[in-house]
A and B are shown apart, each in its own frame.
Chain A
């Protein structure tokens, strides 16, 4: 059975990628499951989508813990723990990274037993959540790596999935998907099918057994306020708003009141953006009366930061 896991950010089309690949496998006569992970599909947030394919009926369900192929649409997700990009990779797995850095660089950086391949990123976008055609590109490259999907099957699947968006959109995506497919020809079929799950191999999760307690103790009651600030939603951000204090009019209310997340605090008229929680919607950039807030690509902003 093939087990494929896609990683991207909300908006990059990982659900679409999984559907295209799933439909292509189906067209090649496989039994298929394709599904995104429900519940976190917010623009910029880490997104997962899964595809299983087998010649026989598939009895496995749920998320894929031991993938044969992992496709990473956005390399900025790799250091994000919540994205879990490297989880479950072993010496038989293939890790395909959509990146403008070389496979050697990633091999050196990552302590993974998996085979590391790079799909060169052709078009960079200031806003990573808007990477053009990335879903189709990832589906196309993955299709070739599996070695069991023809270009025709890929094209049929892409037409099925994107048809309602109109012929022009289909054609642009198809061109990108086929180009990505052909870029992978040298390593075509490099992904091998994983073994059937076997009860004998089952390793129990590393959980801790707790004694049974009454509902007043064990019920999921939250006993303190404002605990949500422990969640660092700043990791969703692909563009960063930066305040130019020379131009800031110290009006204090506009950016702070209108920030949907309440991530701008004001002290003595001076607004400060809480980058741990700013999701990068850029409402503040749009509403600031003297245009004192500028959007910078997150990567650029990070590289300019002085190490503490």
Chain B
């Protein structure tokens, strides 16, 4: 039985009376890449904000690495790295300064932070631009800096919220390879994306959310099998079948 590293139980969150998340429960095994999929407004980002201690659930609880988000948010934060959907960078500073600062914020000393920053920038193919001002970077480069920051402190659990939005194929491929490398090293990852081929390629299991609830959860292969020959149907076919073709806000 694989060890459960993250357990979310009956999560609820509403804003001004609207249920954004309505009774979501799932668990993620240690070393697993778990995909959280869903159309816009499905509740993915709200779920992630609760998992990462930013939002407090109205009801339910979350445990990460044995620490309760409600009772020991500090303990949870010591285990996680977060790459948010929007770029969250100090663009007026250099890539190196950004990584070092966030490294210090996760508890590294100055020397460790610099060493890790250089190593992660190298991993992202940005070593030669380490001292460049982020403001001058392309969208893809900024995305890679965004991801590199999430790796500072070698977190045990990584949240990647639509990390490949708006990047060119080269940057996207670099991010894929990075995620695959992290998975091979045993890092547990929660991944959200609108690109179903990404989820199919990277995720061990996926949960599909719609209107604040999880409507399906299994391996990509098993989900595809539910609607046809898994070698002929795609995860996108499954997604559209489950969530419908109506346009979302």
A and B assemble together: no
A residues lining the B interface (CB < 8 Å): none
Residues of B at under 8 Å CB distance from A?
none
